[in-house]
Amino acid sequence: MRHSSGVGLLAATVLHVIAVIAGSAVAAAAQEQPPAPPPQLRVFLDCESCFADFLRSEIPFVDYVRDRTEAEVHVLITRAQTGGGGREYTVELIGAGRFETVRETLKAVTTPSDTDDIVRRQLATAMRIGLLRFLSRGTVPPALEVGVRFGSAAARPAVTTDRWNQWVFSLRGSASFEGEESSRQRQIGASISADRITPDWKVTLGSELDHEYEEFDLDEDVPVKVERRERDFNWLVVKGLGEHWSIGARGDVESSTFDNTRFSMSGAPAVEYNVFPYSAYTRRQLRALYGIGATHIRYYEETLYGKKEETLPGHLLSLTLEQRERWGSLQAQVEWSQYLHDLSKSRLEVDGELSIRLARGLSVGAEVNASRIRDQLSIPARGATPEEILLRLRRLQSGYEYGLSVSLTYTFGSIFSSVVNPRFGN
């Protein structure tokens, strides 16, 4: 009996030791097991013509999702043209969920001579810098490395003088010729522009010429020949008065066979108020503008009102809204103009473009334009010929114009869109 008890006690002791050793080994193995990597930052990239595929391939340390409701960071990229002819890109990173209070805004400015590769690399750099702020709030990916390197441009001395005094000029010319057995077409065009844009002043000058000639061999002995001529010179001068007010003037000198206008010259001073600060132009603008002036016109043919020449005082009022948010974008304008010599001669124009993300994967878009026309003073007294109507050589009398387009898009499946595959093109 004593021998059996001793053997049992010894066996129990051995089993206890084995259990302790095994438990220690399991605990040690668990401690040596590397922790699961933290989930990558989920990013929704919201932009147009911003080299999105390049940005996804160059910034692989985040997960790109195709629905904004799944994102922790909404990257909104907008752009505007600079006075020098380049573009200013605004990269705004808006946090959601655990990053609800985090927001970062960066800008990348390009010049007209910058190649697409230079532009897209600047955008990638700005986006990397912005995303680092979000990564620093959480667990940094273990394989992430950050380096800072300035190109040779940083070593160049800053430009202290500008021999052009911030003026930017642009010249363009074009010519084309098309033909077949029974018709021939020739077209020549040219334009020139000069712009000087500073924070307080905006001066733009532009001139354009377009001349088109067509000839048709019909069943008749004499071919049908048609000609269209358009010439235009326009100017704009604006002075900024702080973050909300601006004053200025605009005008033009033009000639158009389509509009029965041999010579037209107009000018109008105007004042504009922006409800939002002008500095927030990339996200939202609500501008109200009022202008009053006069137009002197000489016509090719006598008009419906028996005029060959007249001077017309008039005024206009416009309201413009531009807004881009995470839910989508909205652009709308309402413009009302009126001749002061006859208050019944007026025009009301409405233009709008809307894009809304309604729900996960579902978005709707719409474009609308409409005009109520009561100011067609240049319509010739004689009726238009069938050739002029079919070839759109003359403006026809109309009391209204309208247009509408609607689109609906629904996308479903995997929420991730990080992979870029360039095979066989897009």
Residue 59 belongs to some domain of the structure: yes
- DSSP readout, 6-38? HHHHHHHHHHHHHHHHHHHHHHHHHHHSPPPPP
Domain membership of residue 122 (yes or no) is: yes
In a domain, 424, yes or no: no
Question: In the prediction, which pLDDT does 144 show?
Answer: 67
In a domain, residue 234? The reply is no
Per-residue confidence (pLDDT) for residue 87, from 0 to 100: 83
CATH number for the domain harbouring residue 134: 2.60.40
In a domain, residue 310? The reply is no
Q: Which pTM was predicted?
A: 0.69
- The domain in which residue 74 lies consists of 41-139
Give the pLDDT of residue 57: 80
From first to last of the 426 residues of the chain, give the pLDDT tens digit: 445 555 555 555 655 656 656 566 555 555 555 555 567 888 888 888 788 888 888 888 888 887 788 888 999 888 887 776 778 888 989 988 888 888 888 888 888 777 788 888 888 899 988 888 888 876 666 666 777 666 554 444 444 567 788 888 899 999 999 999 888 999 999 999 999 888 889 999 999 999 999 888 877 677 888 889 999 999 999 999 999 999 999 999 999 999 999 999 999 999 999 999 988 887 789 999 999 999 999 999 999 899 999 999 999 999 999 988 778 889 999 999 999 999 999 999 999 999 888 877 788 999 999 999 999 999 988 888 777 777 777 888 889 999 999 999 887 776 666 565 666 655
Tell me whether residue 82 is in a domain.
Answer: yes
Q: What is the pLDDT of residue 78?
A: 85
Name the burial class of residue 390, with classes exposed (0-12), middle (13-18) and buried (19+) by CB atoms within 10 angstroms of its CB: exposed
205 in a structural domain: no
Q: How many domains does the chain have?
A: 1
Identify the pLDDT of residue 155: 45
Which DSSP string corresponds to 273-335? EESS-GGGTTTEEEEEEEEEEEEEEEESS-BTTS-SEEEEEEEEEEEEEEEEETTEEEEEEEE
pLDDT of residue 420: 57
Residue type, 96: A
List the structure tokens of 280: 């927030």
Query: Does any domain span residue 119?
Result: yes
